[in-house]
Each structure stands twice: as C-alpha cells, then as structure tokens.
Structure 1
Amino acid sequence: MKIDKIINNNIISSKDVDNSELIVMGCGLGFGKKVGQSVDETKIEKIFKLDNKDSLKRFKELLKKLPLEYIQVSDEIISYAKGALGKELNENVYLTLTDHIGFAIDRFKEGMIFGNALFEEIKMFYPNEYTVGCHALYLIEKKTGIRLLDEEAASIAIHIVNAEFNSAVGVTFMLTQMLREMMEIIEQEIPTCKTESYQPDKLAINFKYLVHRMLTEQPEQSKGDEVLYDFVRTHCKREYELIRKVNDFIKDKYDCFMTEEESIYLTLNVKRISDLV
C-alpha cells in the first residue's frame, strides 16, 4: 500500500487493487512521510472506504480538522452499534456521526448546551439505538474525558437510525414526530392506553417501519384478501375507524397514506390493545 496523499500526521489517502480511494488512519501514520512511500501497516488502525465521491470529499475535509480521538471514538461507536444491533450501517454514518461528535464536544466545551426536543420519543421508538447512544457517551468520556448530557445519547441514536434506514436526519426527525402524533390519536381513544398494562413501545414497533415506508417509499400494489378485509372492517369497526382517522390526519399533514392492507394490519394490532380492557 502506497501513500497517495497525506491528510495529516495520522491519516493518509491510498488506493486499493481496484484503484478506489481509501482513507487510512493510524497514530503517526503520515508523520514525516512523503507521497509515494509505503504505508507502515503496523500503525494502521482503521481503513475507510466511502463509495460516494461527495461524501468521501467531505469526510477528508472533516478529518483534516478533527483531533484523532474524535475520529477513533466515532469508529468505536459505529463498530459497537453494528455488533449490538446486528445490522450493517450505511457508510455515510462515518461522516455524519464523526461530524456530530466533533460539533457536540466543541459545543459542550464552549458552554453551549442544547436539549433534544424529541428525547422521550427517541427513547420510546428506538430503544436499541438509544442504548447504543448511552454506550457512546461512555466511550466518548473514556476517550476524551468529557461527559456529554444524556440528550446526546438520543442525538447519536438518530444518526444510527439514519444509517439503518439510509435516510437523512430531517427524515428521521419527521418520522419520529409523525410516530408521536399517530400514537397520541390512538392513546386518546383507547382506554387501555391509560392502564398499567399498556406498553406503548409494542405499538410503536408496529408503526415504525410503516411510517418510514410512507415517508420514503411508494406503497406496494397488492390485491390483498378482501374476505379478510371485510371481516376486520365488520368485527373491528371501532378500531378500523380509528385507523382511518389516523390515516386522514397523515394525509392532511404529511401528504402520505397507508394502503388498505397496512390499515387492516394496524387495525388488528390496535384491537389486541383494546381487548386488554
């Protein structure tokens, strides 16, 4: 492996066998080196490969200005998230999360403390990702000596969710807000939601992937089982009308909608909850 470009003392650019650019990180990897020299492979800590050229360019610009420990801890968090969630994450998370961590730490040092308006919703709708965010705070403190506020765990969780769904931060925030509003409509009309037996996280799981589909993908065309649909409409009339109310709300506010198949599925889930009364 040859040095193609020296980004800073700890990060260099190289090429793989397919001539694709690699970002190679390691303490002192670029110190005293020149373009064309061999990379000291004993110092390599991490190799990044971002296929998107724009993301790669932005990532290199970010790496120039950030301390090595910020980049290292971001990589540790992403590795932990992949293992804890058992999922692959979109490569852009290396850019977005590293940028966020650098910004959050610098902001904290300057005494600029901001809350997260969707803190409670993120904990409810993305409990596994929030747990990753909590562990991330531990890793950041261990690496930098700085303990960020708990709200940052939720913000980190959002970046992990983005990487899972391959969506933008704005979409994820809208998704979370939309989930909360849909849940509120149901909670207002289902008595069970006022009892201790009600577990909102179970209902939220049913909503989460549906809402993401509605915001980012076209509905799948399906003939469905009309006999089943008619049975549900007849025998779960109250719950079906409630889901129609939710559907009307999201049509008006977000310009998206559930298919009849999705409406029937949610009707059955709400029926299970109402039967707990």
Structure 2
Amino acid sequence: MKIKKILNNNAAIVVEDNQEKIVIGPGIAFNKGKNDLINRNKIDKLFVVKNDAHLGQLLPQIPVEHMALTQEIIQYAEELLQVKLNPHIFIALADHLSFAIERYEDGIFIKNKLLSEIKILYKKEFDIGVWAINYVEEKIGIRMPIDEAAFIALHLHTASVPSGDLQVSLRQTSIINEIIHIIRDYFSISLEETGLSYERLITHLRYTLYRINDTAERTMDDEMLIMVRNKFPSSYHCATKIAEYLSRQHDIQLPSEEVGYITIHIERLRSREV
C-alpha cells in the first residue's frame, strides 16, 4: 500500500491493487512521502474509492487544505459523539465543505430552510457544526454562515447511524418543516422556535416519522382520543389537516393515536403563542 498523495499527517491517498483508497490514522503520513509504504497498524479508517467516474473526477478537485479540515472535523465529531462515523462521510463532507468555501469566496450564500428543525433534532451534531465553522475561520480566515453548521450536522447525523442515508434525513427534516408551516398558517401565528413546547413538538414529530410503521407502540385508547378531540377541537382539526397532507403528499398514514398526540402538542404550543 503505497502513498499517492499526502493530505496531512493523519490522512493520505494510497494505491493498492491498482485501486485508490483514503487511509486515516494518527500520524499515519508523518515524515512520509510519495510512494512510501503505509503502516497498516496505524490505519484507523479506510475509504475505498471505487471505479466511479464522479469520484475519480472529484478527488483531484478538492484542495488538500479542505481535506485536512474535513479530517479534523470528523475526528472532533467522533470524540464528542463517542461513535465511529461511516468512513464514507470523508468524501461527502469534504466535497460539501470545499464547495461551501468556494461559494463563500464567490459571495454566494445558501440559506438552510431547515435550520430551526436541525438545531433541535440533531443538537449535538449542530453544536459540532458550529465548532466546525469556527475552526474553518480559525484555520483559513473564512467565516461561513450558521446555515453551514446545520448542513454539516446533517452529514454527521447520517454518518453516525447504521445504514444512514442523507436523503432520508433530509426528507424527514423537510416533512417536519412542512408540518410546522401548516400549523403556522392554520393559526396565523409565528411560533417561538426557542420555546420548550416547540422543541417537544419537533422531537415528537421526529420519532413519529421514525416509528410510523411500528404498530406495537400504542398508548392512547379511543376514550382518551375522543376526550382530546372534544377538548381541543381547533388543534385536533389542525392535526387532521396534517394527517391528510402527509397521506396526500408523502403517502404516510398517521394512526389515529398519533393524530391525538400531535393535537396535544399543538394545543400546548398554541396556548403559549396566542
């Protein structure tokens, strides 16, 4: 396993069996040069660059400096989250981070429409994202907007769960954002995004989407549901509108119990906003 390109002291691109790989490990490339051999015992992560035209074109376009920043962010995240992230995050995050830096240099800023939801759903990952944009500023003098912390958080969350899929995470977070807009429009209120009731609603919606096909976990009986419906008619009607929307737009069928729970969360939230 020979070195093709050194990224930093802890990461390098190597070639083995005519295949490019990215290896990461403490001091793995220290005092090394091109064509030097890598000590396999120092390899902490290994990412295989498959015969993919996109990846083949992508790697040379990512500056070594940006790869080094990515590696430091991943290492910091693993220490705080106490997990080993999927090694595929290295390429995905390096590509995202490098493109974000390029956009900043060109004066292009992209707003993250899911910022509020991500801050609540993935709090630890978002805090790491905030650290990351501060670290980027410290190292290369570029101050990226807080929206980038949320983008980074999504990448970290996806890489920290088994079979993580960024598109699934994005879809679930987008659906939650759509639900919040339904509530806002229905009651014509601007919700306090830092409030405890808002956070509880977001968290409940997240787990609702995760366990949507789990029929074993049902704790609201019909009598309780009728009471909730009669006591909070406006919030219940809003919850049914949400259920209809999810069915129509996303083919998600909310059980009646979930409509009841969402009603309670909406009522708690609404009573603190009006």
Common fold: TM-score over 0.5: yes
Please show how residues 138-217 of structure 1 align to structure 2 within 5 Å.
Answer: 138-164=134-160, 166-169=164-167, 171-187=168-184, 188-189=186-187, 199-212=197-210
Residue pair 2:197, 2:268 contacting (<8 A) in 1 also = no
1:272 Cα offset (Å): 5.4
Correspondence 1:39 to 2:38: yes
Please show how residues 238-257 of structure 1 align to structure 2 within 5 Å.
Answer: 238=232, 239-257=235-253
Cα deviation 1:44-91 (Å, max 9, x = unaligned):
6x6432479468x86665443333321121122122223333444333
Moved more, 112-121 or 192-201: 192-201
Moved more, 142-151 or 184-193: 184-193
- Listed as ranges, the gaps of 5+ residues in structure 1 are none
What TM-score do the two structures reach when normalised by structure 1?
0.72
Match of 1:230 among 222, 226, 229: 222
In the alignment, which residue of structure 2 is the partner of 1:13? 14
The separation in 2 between residues aligned to 1:266 and 1:30, in whole angstroms, is: 59
The separation in 2 between residues aligned to 1:149 and 1:230, in whole angstroms, is: 48
1:135 Cα offset (Å): 0.4
1:234 Cα offset (Å): 1.8
Residue pair 1:229, 1:264 contacting (<8 A) in 2 also = no
Match of 2:127 among 121, 128, 131: 131
Change in Cα spacing, 1:82 to 1:268, as seen in structure 2 (3 Å) is farther
The separation in 1 between residues aligned to 2:194 and 2:144, in whole angstroms, is: 33
Cα deviation 1:115-142 (Å, max 9, x = unaligned):
3333344334433322211100112123
| Letter matched to residue 251 of structure 1 | S
Change in Cα spacing, 1:190 to 1:111, as seen in structure 2 (3 Å) is closer
Task: Indicate the SS of the match to 2:126.
Answer: helix
Change in Cα spacing, 1:199 to 1:167, as seen in structure 2 (3 Å) is same
| Letter matched to residue 182 of structure 2 | I
1:205 Cα offset (Å): 0.9
Residue pair 1:236, 1:267 contacting (<8 A) in 2 also = yes
Cα deviation 1:215-253 (Å, max 9, x = unaligned):
xxxx1344846xx42122121113554432211111112
CA RMSD of aligned residues (A): 4.0
1:154 Cα offset (Å): 2.1
1:8 Cα offset (Å): 2.0
Residue pair 2:243, 2:253 contacting (<8 A) in 1 also = yes
The separation in 1 between residues aligned to 2:113 and 2:193, in whole angstroms, is: 26
What TM-score do the two structures reach when normalised by structure 2?
0.73
Change in Cα spacing, 1:71 to 1:64, as seen in structure 2 (3 Å) is same
Correspondence 1:220 to 2:214: yes
1:101 Cα offset (Å): 0.9
In the alignment, which residue of structure 2 is the partner of 1:24? 23
Task: Indicate the SS of the match to 1:257.
Answer: coil
The separation in 2 between residues aligned to 1:191 and 1:104, in whole angstroms, is: 34
